[in-house]
Amino acid sequence: MDAVEVGPLVGGQEEEGTGASRVENPGRFGELVGLARAADAGSVDRAVRAAEEAQREWAAAPTESRTALLTTVADRIDADVERLALVLAREVGTPLAQARGEVAAAAGAFRNAASLAAEVLEDRRPLDGIRVRRRPIGVVAGIVPWNAPLVLAAQKAAPALVTGNAFVLKPSPLAPLAVGLLARIVADALPAGLVASLPGGGDVGTALVDHPLVRKVSFTGGGPTARAIMERAAATLTRVHFELGGNDPAIILDDADLADTAERIALSAFRRSGQVCYAVKRVYVPRSLAGEFVELLERAVDAHVVGDSLDERVTMGPVNNRGQFDLVAGLAADARASGRDVRRLGEQADPASWDRGLFARPSLVVDAGPEDETVRVEQFGPLLPVVAYDGLDEAVRLANATEYGLASSVWSTDEERALDVAERIEAGVTFVNGHVLTAEGQLTIPFGGVKQSGMGWENSAVGLDEYLDHHSIHVQRMPSKQKEGSR
């Protein structure tokens, strides 16, 4: 397969950039997927200035012409699904079928934003003489991580663009290729300069955050980076929007359908090898059912096939990077050393090439305690702790005893009971009898985190609001004029 090359996309043109970094397949050590030429401070400045220039005309265009162009973007992404999915699968390690799903979800984000724009952008006239208009913010910087780069970038670019902003993307150096190709598709369909993409590391992100013409930073990634961004953004009072990590609890009630619950949790927790911000990351099960549930969960998790992302049988690809791989291996080793029962499950698709990639088997800590490290941290990998609880109040207390608050789930055959528990959970989203964002959910649910899991919301009409200011025009008539008028 040919290597892909991406570079800084500035003012509609690809620039030379600085040194090219190799992006390798995490499932085949040494296999080059492509090269990413990094941006520098000069390209950041040129990109932001070109975006600001293009944004004025874009904001003045009728909403229908912007929505039409976003629909064109969605069609072009769909038409390129095979190329994008293949690059994504090889650079991130996402199994190919799931990578195709991510491309479709990225296209869906553009369609959703287009379908919601007219209503969100409509002027409001609450009283005679008062008009409340919606206005774009200006140049928006979108900084994204490596785990699902296409959909995470599209979830920012689509609402920002349809509401009349310009968009400058900063991909992760761990997955810059597919999203660089996506940026090119989006940029080519829209006015020159409106969309830019700046590969590179934290220094490029910092230069973007510092740029005085960037009016908002929409960031998805880890808490420590968000803190650094917030500090720097304070200098120019640039708005920030954060989608951060989670430690999603799944609370199983005593009347849950244990077999179906085990199947669904095994899918949610280990999808993309657990590298999903809102995956199930800890399970709470009634103590009296723990034995039966663990047996069912073990069977469901054992059905995963781990291996090369292009192997059609594979349900879990490699872990994306060495840091993440070592973190999860260390957590499992520490749990085992402290006496916990850690079960390594799943089938190795190709045992002969196992050591030639960052492959990790899906693992369960079947007797975790509520204070264990595996329960308290965001593992972001294929390791899931199961904690037994004695009363529902205790389960809710443990679920909420964290600074995270992204998603969560409640499992029960009694929907009313599940809803009562759901209402007590501190999270941006609580699922009942599932733990996945569906296509309808992506259109209608404001997605985001409470507490230290985030600030601001993506998807749905609320997600468009994040990229708009208000501009109120209030006509305050002079008494004399009113009299004249009434004559």
Contacts with ligand NAD by CB under 6 A lie at 143-147, 152, 170, 172-173, 201-202, 205-206, 209, 220-222, 225, 228-229, 243-246, 277, 378, 380, 406, 449, 454
- Closest distance of CB 426 from ligand NAD, Å: 15
- Closest distance of CB 68 from ligand NAD, Å: 28
Host H or E run for residue 413: none
Residues 89 and 85: their CA atoms lie apart, in Å, by: 6
Task: Pick the catalytic residue from 277, 281, 378, 466.
Answer: 277
Task: Pick the catalytic residue from 102, 243, 378, 466.
Answer: 243
Burial code of 342-360, b = ≥16 C-beta within 10 A, e = fewer? beebbbebbeeeeebbbbb
**To which residue do tokens 């064109």 refer?**
72
- Closest distance of CB 290 from ligand NAD, Å: 27
Task: Pick the catalytic residue from 15, 52, 102, 156.
Answer: 156
Burial code of 267-285, b = ≥16 C-beta within 10 A, e = fewer? bbbbbbbbbbbbbbbbbbb
Residue whose CB is less far from ligand NAD, 54 or 250: 250
Residue 176: C-alpha distances to residues 8, 110, 147, 438 (Å): 11, 20, 11, 26
- Closest distance of CB 299 from ligand NAD, Å: 28
Look up 458 and say whether it is catalytic.
yes
Structure tokens at 472: 């109120």
- Closest distance of CB 26 from ligand NAD, Å: 14
Q: Would you say 180 and 3 are in contact if contact means Cβ atoms under 8 Å apart?
A: no
- Closest distance of CB 291 from ligand NAD, Å: 31
Among all residues, whose Cβ is closest to ligand NAD? 205
Residue whose CB is less far from ligand NAD, 17 or 307: 17
Look up 156 and say whether it is catalytic.
yes
Residue whose CB is less far from ligand NAD, 173 or 369: 173
Q: Is 134 left (phi over 0), alpha (psi -120 to 50) or beta?
A: beta
Residue whose CB is less far from ligand NAD, 286 or 449: 449
Look up 415 and say whether it is catalytic.
no
Residue whose CB is less far from ligand NAD, 152 or 296: 152
Q: Is 462 left (phi over 0), alpha (psi -120 to 50) or beta?
A: alpha
Burial code of 388-400, b = ≥16 C-beta within 10 A, e = fewer? bbeebeebbebbb
- Closest distance of CB 225 from ligand NAD, Å: 3
Residue whose CB is less far from ligand NAD, 228 or 259: 228
Q: Is 251 left (phi over 0), alpha (psi -120 to 50) or beta?
A: beta
Residue whose CB is less far from ligand NAD, 54 or 226: 226
Backbone CA torsion sign across 474, 479, 481, 485: positive
27 DSSP 8-state letter: T
Quickly list H helices, 131-176. Answer: 149-162
Identity of the amino acid at 471: H
> Which residues participate in catalysis according to the annotation?
156, 243, 277, 458
